[in-house]
Amino acid sequence: MKRWRLVFVYFALLATSANADDNNFQIRLVYADTWKPISYSENGKVKGLLPQAIDRILSDHPGVTIEHIAVPWARAQIMVKNGKADGMITTPTAERLQYTLRSENNIVLLPFVLATNKNSKRLNELDDVDNLKPVAGKIFCDVLGNGWAENYYKDKPVVVRIAPTIKECLRMLSVNRVDGIVHAHPVLDMYVNELGLQYNIRIHTSPSLLSPTFPLLISKKNSKAKEILTSFDKHFLEDHTTIYLVPNN
């Protein structure tokens, strides 16, 4: 009888250990390596507002270990597609959802806000960044390849000038060669300070309602993708809310 009791206890312990392993996840997340201050690589370390937000959310999630990896963005997406990385935090486009599953909850919101020249009374009186009718005909600036901007400006009655970098947009804004910029708040803040344009440019704080939100995307190549997302969503709903990626001032 004692032998059977020992056998029962042994298998019970094995089952408990297996269940514990099922709830333990090591997740390799990839980020863009040059998207300051959102995510970037510096001296071999992954830094930025986005990995900081993920650490805040998952640091108190028992059984979850996160590895942050920063590489060129095109390579990052290929790594997730091929299963070389487990996931990423980004816009869940139709193409990305072909090779990933998404969390039900959005982890972060990246606020897109208006930047104006401090001497522009008309632009500074604008109280709704999503309604540009009061400044119809004015010139706004953005960068080539910004899909968010293409969608944002498609029905706006303004002229859009494309520049190679957001730095160039800010330089033009500082001397009134363009009238406004709508871009990611932390990016604007970083470059305004870097260029020393704080006395020329005002960054408004009310975000566009179209500001992008990012869920957690897990590769379909990961055999535990559904379990990871179920566990994440449960933890997120119980202990967290969507984090706004705002400048670290």
pLDDT digits (tens, 9 = 90+) for 83-96: 999 999 999 999 99
pLDDT, residue 61, reads 78
Between CA 215 and CA 104 the distance in angstroms is 7
Q: Which amino acid is at 90?
A: T
Q: What is the pLDDT of residues 199-237, one digit of tens each?
A: 999 999 999 999 999 999 999 999 999 999 999 999 888
Q: What is the pLDDT of residues 10-19, one digit of tens each?
A: 334 334 334 4
- E strands, the chain, are 25-32, 34-35, 39-42, 45-47, 64-71, 87-89, 100-109, 112-117, 139-143, 159-163, 180-184, 201-203, 213-219, 243-244
Burial class (CB in 10 A: 0-12, 13-18, 19+), 84: middle
Write down all domains in the chain, each with its CATH number in brackets.
Answer: 2-110+212-244 (3.40.190.10), 112-203 (3.40.190.10)
Residues above pLDDT 70, as percent of the chain: 90
On the question of pLDDT at 241 being above 50, the answer is yes
pTM as predicted: 0.86
